[in-house]
């Protein structure tokens, strides 16, 4: 038997992938030219011989959205058909402000909405960490506070991500897989379960569908995020408070460093713009 059917890519390996077709998971060969990523909708030829079911991807549907990674000299799609990026933060290991700002820039460049999941609320917050969460809340970023370990806030998170397709991103150890386990009821490999202590526990991105029309992708922890290929205008618009202030600078080509009547400098002096955001903005604009 052989027939073409529409399926969803739930995991992608180097030249093959796993797709979901109804409630079946089917391994598939993926021709390189189709440029398949997790989240893609594809047409597959189902080959159902007596021993096993497998498939071959013959066509990729047009993507509704694409999360892009900007690697040195190239832009690569990393995941498809998402609506949101959930930045998983934790007090230990402490998520740096720079990491959050980079993901806000990346989300903006891919036209996706970003929110923060403040995980490990059972741990004690340092003053700096609380200040960090306050800063992003003031900037209008949605924050859902949870403890994946103890279960606090999980229902709130479920309601927040209902009807959304979210990829969880975050530093290794922030708790992406623990949260995914809690949401899916599946036992996934997390740092507390693994024996050898490598840097990253999760090595590929996997897509899960949960009740309430929730779609989540658990991704490997990110060490280096390159944003040097992102257009300056896309960087500026992800620093929306700086973007707003810059409209009142005296010079239209103001670099916001030491120019006269710079509204961004004024915002800094009056604490309307946080120093960390300003410093990251300048770093990112100057290609780090
Ligand atoms: N105290 C506390 N620990 C947690 C919580 N959530 C996760 N952890 C622990 O944090 C560690 C890392 O969790 P993982 O889920 O493996 O982290 P990850 O983000 O998937 O890491 P990578 O796959 O390496 O990117 C594990 O030891 C978890 O048990 C939480 O809410 N509170
Ligand atoms: Mg993981
Ligand atoms: Zn200025």
pLDDT at 2: 57
Mean pLDDT over 92-120 rounds to 96
Mean pLDDT over 180-208 rounds to 77
In a domain, 258, yes or no: yes
In a domain, 226, yes or no: no
In a domain, 41, yes or no: yes
Q: Is the dihedral of CA 39, 213, 105, 202 positive or negative?
A: negative
Model confidence band, residue 51 (pLDDT cutoffs 50, 70, 90): confident
Regarding whether 119 and 147 lie in a shared domain, the answer is yes
pLDDT at 288: 55
Model confidence band, residue 69 (pLDDT cutoffs 50, 70, 90): confident
The CATH number of the domain holding residue 48 is 2.40.50.140
Regarding whether 45 and 78 lie in a shared domain, the answer is no
* Predicted confidence (pLDDT) at residue 287 exceeds the cutoff of 60: yes
Structure tokens at 133: 């969460």
* Predicted confidence (pLDDT) at residue 192 exceeds the cutoff of 90: no
In a domain, 225, yes or no: no
Whether 119 is in the pocket of ligand 1, judged by its Cβ within 6 Å, is yes
Query: Which of 196, 218, 240 is a domain's end point?
Result: 218
CA of 70 to the centre of ligand 1 (A): 27
Consecutive H or E run containing 216: strand 214-218
* Predicted confidence (pLDDT) at residue 120 exceeds the cutoff of 90: yes
Structure tokens at 117: 């999941």
- Tell me how far apart the alpha carbons of residues 220 and 188 are, in angstroms, rounded to a whole number: 13
pLDDT at 193: 53
Ligand that comes closest to the CA of residue 278: 3
What backbone phi and psi angles, to 5 degrees, belong to 58? -110, -20
Whether 222 is in the pocket of ligand 1, judged by its Cβ within 6 Å, is no
Atom 14 (ligand 1) nearest CA: 175
What DSSP letter does each residue of 65-131 carry, written as one string? Answer: -EEEEEETTEEEEEEES--EEEEEE-TTTTPPHHHHHHHHHHHHHTT-EEEEEE--TTSPPPHHHHH
Regarding whether 166 and 111 lie in a shared domain, the answer is yes
pLDDT at 82: 97
Q: Residue 105, Cβ neighbours under 10 Å: how many?
A: 24
Whether 147 is in the pocket of ligand 1, judged by its Cβ within 6 Å, is yes
Regarding whether 214 and 171 lie in a shared domain, the answer is yes
Whether 153 is in the pocket of ligand 1, judged by its Cβ within 6 Å, is no
Residue 247, domain extent: 232-285
Regarding whether 161 and 214 lie in a shared domain, the answer is yes
Atom 22 (ligand 1) nearest CA: 172
Atom 7 (ligand 1) nearest CA: 175
Regarding whether 122 and 76 lie in a shared domain, the answer is yes
In a domain, 245, yes or no: yes
Residue % of the chain over a pLDDT of 90: 75
CA of 113 to the centre of ligand 1 (A): 24
In a domain, 22, yes or no: yes
Mean pLDDT over 197-203 rounds to 64
pLDDT at 39: 97
Cis peptide before 93 (omega within 30 of 0): yes
Ligand that comes closest to the CA of residue 264: 3
Regarding whether 174 and 94 lie in a shared domain, the answer is yes
pLDDT at 3: 73
CA of 155 to the centre of ligand 2 (A): 21
CA atoms within a 13 Å half-sphere pointing along the CA-CB vector of 163: 2
Regarding whether 142 and 86 lie in a shared domain, the answer is yes
Regarding whether 71 and 49 lie in a shared domain, the answer is no
Give the count of domains, the chain.
3
pLDDT at 222: 73
Query: Which of 218, 245, 264 is a domain's end point?
Result: 218
Atom of ligand 1 nearest to the CA of 123: 1
Regarding whether 103 and 196 lie in a shared domain, the answer is yes
In a domain, 227, yes or no: no
Nearest to 280 by CA among 154, 119, 105: 105
The CATH number of the domain holding residue 131 is 3.40.50.300
The CATH number of the domain holding residue 261 is 1.10.40.50
Ligand that comes closest to the CA of residue 178: 1
Consecutive H or E run containing 268: helix 263-269
Q: Pick the range with the lowest mean pLDDT from 63-72, 92-101, 242-251.
A: 63-72
Regarding whether 103 and 43 lie in a shared domain, the answer is no
Per-residue CA distances from 160 to 107, 149, 165, 169, 272 (Å)? 18, 19, 11, 16, 29
Residue % of the chain over a pLDDT of 70: 95
CA of 279 to the centre of ligand 3 (A): 14
Model confidence band, residue 199 (pLDDT cutoffs 50, 70, 90): low
* Predicted confidence (pLDDT) at residue 201 exceeds the cutoff of 90: no
pLDDT in tens, 206-250: 999 999 999 999 998 876 788 888 889 999 999 999 999 999 999
CA atoms within a 13 Å half-sphere pointing along the CA-CB vector of 257: 6
Instruction: Give me the residues near ligand 3 (ion), CB cutoff below 5 Å.
Output: 249, 254, 256, 262, 264
pLDDT in tens, 11-26: 998 888 999 999 899 9
pLDDT at 49: 74
User: Strand 206-210 and strand 214-218: pairing?
Assistant: antiparallel
Regarding whether 209 and 159 lie in a shared domain, the answer is yes
Pocket test for ligand 1, best of 175, 188, 206 (most atoms within 8 A of CB): 175
């Amino acid at each position: 038997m052989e027939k073409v059917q529409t399926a969803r890519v739930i995991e992608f390996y180097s030249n093959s992938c796993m797709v979901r077709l109804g409630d079946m998971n089917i391994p598939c060969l993926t021709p390189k030219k189709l440029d398949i990523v997790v989240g893609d909708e594809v047409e597959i030829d189902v080959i159902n011989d007596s021993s096993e079911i497998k498939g071959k991807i013959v066509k990729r549907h047009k993507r509704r959205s694409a999360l892009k990674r900007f690697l040195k000299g190239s832009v690569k799609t990393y995941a498809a058909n998402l609506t949101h990026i959930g930045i998983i933060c934790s007090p230990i290991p402490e998520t740096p402000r720079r990491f959050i700002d980079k993901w806000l820039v990346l989300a903006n460049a891919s036209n996706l909405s970003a929110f923060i999941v403040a995980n490990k609320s059972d741990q004690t917050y340092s003053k700096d960490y609380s200040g960090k969460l306050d800063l992003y809340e003031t900037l209008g970023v949605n924050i859902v506070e949870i403890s994946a370990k103890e279960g606090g806030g999980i229902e709130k998170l479920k309601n927040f991500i209902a009807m959304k397709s979210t990829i969880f991103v975050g530093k290794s150890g922030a708790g992406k897989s623990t949260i995914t386990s809690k949401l899916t009821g599946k036992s996934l490999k997390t740092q507390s379960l693994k024996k050898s202590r490598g840097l990253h526990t999760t090595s590929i991105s996997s897509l899960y569908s949960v009740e309430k029309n929730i779609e989540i992708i658990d991704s490997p922890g990110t060490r280096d995020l390159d944003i040097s290929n992102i257009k300056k205008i896309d960087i500026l618009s992800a620093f929306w408070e700086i973007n707003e202030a810059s409209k009142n600078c005296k010079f239209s080509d103001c670099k916001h460093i030491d120019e006269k009547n710079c509204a961004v400098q004024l915002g800094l002096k009056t604490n309307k713009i946080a120093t960390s955001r300003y410093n990251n903005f300048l770093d990112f604009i100057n290609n780090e």
